[in-house]
Amino acid sequence: MTVNLLDFDGESLTAWFAEQGEKPFRAKQVLRWIHRSGVADFDAMTDIAKSLREKLKAKAVVAPPAVVSDKLSDDGTRKFLIDVGNGNAVETVFIPEDDRGTLCISTQAGCALDCAFCSTGKQGFNRNLTVAEIIGQLWQANHALGAVHGDERVISNVVLMGMGEPLANFENSVAALKLMLDDNAYGLSRRRVTVSTSGLVPVMDRLGDECPVALAVSLHAPNDKLRDQIVPINQKYPLKELMAACQRYLDKAPRDFITFEYIMLDGINDTDAHARELLALVRSVHCKFNLIPFNPFPGSPFKRSPAERVRRFADILMQAGIVTTTRKTRGDDIDAACGQLAGQVQDKTKRTAGRVIPLKEARS
């Protein structure tokens, strides 16, 4: 059976090479060709013996998922639609800034968690992405951005913050994270790789143990009553447990703070009283806040908080000494802004019967 070498992290590739009777340093060489040089053709791996190349051609492929479309926004944001088979497509977004280039990667086709404000959640859930489909987004973006030759690093930061809940696809997300951190693959710093979770408490502990990277938590509400409604996973892991998990994570994290993401929904979670309630909630967790102006999408019952409201909310947090940023709305003209990562998903939960856009229409 042919295997896709993009499905292996460094350790599992070495194990697979051992099964083929090959030495560990060969696996390292191939890993570097695939991920550092972006090479998919074994014949182009010039320092690999011809006999091994022939063996690899017979037993393996390097098969990234295909890019269906590639759109550039006026502000430089670039959105890739990635084909993940069976009529499903996910989105990957590159956000260039003065001092960094951030790639936002998807980990699931759709999402089962159904947060009330989220365009992805409204599409339902199809399946977990494979390691090849997750790391393949970085592989493809590097190609598209011309970053596979030379030393210049166009993508300096990666966030697992696209479609899906990364901790609900733990094994595959962690294998992809390990490749991002591996010096023989992408060599990114742990501090520049961020997992964003809606708060799967037991899996946050696992991440801290197995692959500690920077952590962002989608908080979005200062009390259980409201969070139960807009982030339904809260009914399973309420705020007290979530805050305790954040404290535990900080013991292992490469950064000394958690980033709390907070979407600003007009009249729902954006009052002065909500801000003060948040201060009491996060008292024991060293954190930063990232306020996200909501991006309305068709059928959504919410509105974006007015800019003045967002400023006032941020002021209350900052006056209490919490570093607070407000996310610039980027890529509006190509629907690449946060919460708009729609892609196309064949919903297996039947939550959205009749709303799926066939992939061939997306291509046209």
Residues identified as active-site: 91, 338
Tell me the two tokens of residue 192. 């520049």
Which CB, 106 or 140, lies closer to ligand SF4?
106
# chain residues binding ligand SF4, by CB under 6 A: 12
Question: ∠ CA(132), CA(8), CA(30), 5° rounding?
Answer: 105
Choice from 88, 198, 340, 344 touching ligand SF4 (CB under 6 A):
198
| Contact of 345 with 86, CB cutoff 8 Å | no
Among the candidate windows 111-119, 171-179, 286-294, 353-361, which touches ligand SF4 by CB under 6 A?
111-119
* Residue closest to 220 by CA, chosen among 207, 208, 232, 206: 232
Q: Closest-CB residue for ligand SF4?
A: 121
| Contact of 198 with 113, CB cutoff 8 Å | yes
Site membership for ligand SF4, residue 121 (CB under 6 A): yes
| Least distance (Å) between residue 169 CB and ligand SF4 | 11
Choice from 6, 13, 103, 111 touching ligand SF4 (CB under 6 A):
111
> Is residue 302 classed as helix, strand or coil in its secondary structure?
coil
Q: How far apart are CA 238 and CA 202, in angstroms?
A: 12
Among the candidate windows 22-30, 31-39, 163-171, 310-318, which touches ligand SF4 by CB under 6 A?
163-171
Among the candidate windows 16-24, 89-97, 108-116, 204-212, which touches ligand SF4 by CB under 6 A?
108-116
Strand partners, 290: 261, 325
Site membership for ligand SF4, residue 165 (CB under 6 A): yes
Choice from 89, 115, 204, 336 touching ligand SF4 (CB under 6 A):
115
| Least distance (Å) between residue 351 CB and ligand SF4 | 11
* Residue closest to 47 by CA, chosen among 64, 25, 67: 25
Which CB, 112 or 147, lies closer to ligand SF4?
112
Question: How far are the Cα atoms of 206, 286, 343 from residue 270, in angstroms, in the given order?
Answer: 32, 22, 29
Choice from 9, 91, 114, 133 touching ligand SF4 (CB under 6 A):
114
Q: How far apart are CA 270 and CA 317, in angstroms?
A: 12
* Residue closest to 111 by CA, chosen among 125, 100, 94: 125
Which CB, 121 or 208, lies closer to ligand SF4?
121
| Contact of 282 with 321, CB cutoff 8 Å | no
Residues 212-231 that bind ligand SF4 (CB under 6 A): 218
The interface mask with ligand SF4, positions 26-65, x = CB under 6 A, is ----------------------------------------
Choice from 120, 157, 169, 234 touching ligand SF4 (CB under 6 A):
120
DSSP 7: G
Which CB, 95 or 161, lies closer to ligand SF4?
161
Site membership for ligand SF4, residue 118 (CB under 6 A): yes
Name, in order, each residue with C-beta under 8 angstroms of 282's C-beta and a sequence gap of 6 or more.
243, 260, 322
Among the candidate windows 6-14, 41-49, 51-59, 114-122, which touches ligand SF4 by CB under 6 A?
114-122
DSSP 344: B
Among the candidate windows 28-36, 110-118, 200-208, 309-317, which touches ligand SF4 by CB under 6 A?
110-118
Which CB, 22 or 335, lies closer to ligand SF4?
335
Strand partners, 157: 102
Q: How far apart are CA 271 and CA 307, in angstroms?
A: 13
Question: How far are the Cα atoms of 156, 160, 193, 230, 261 from residue 255, in angstroms, in the given order?
Answer: 16, 16, 11, 28, 16
How would you classify the pairing of strands 287-293 and 258-264? Answer: parallel
| Least distance (Å) between residue 308 CB and ligand SF4 | 26
Choice from 67, 84, 109, 113 touching ligand SF4 (CB under 6 A):
113
Binding site for ligand SF4 (CB under 6 A): 111, 113-115, 118, 120-121, 163-165, 198, 218
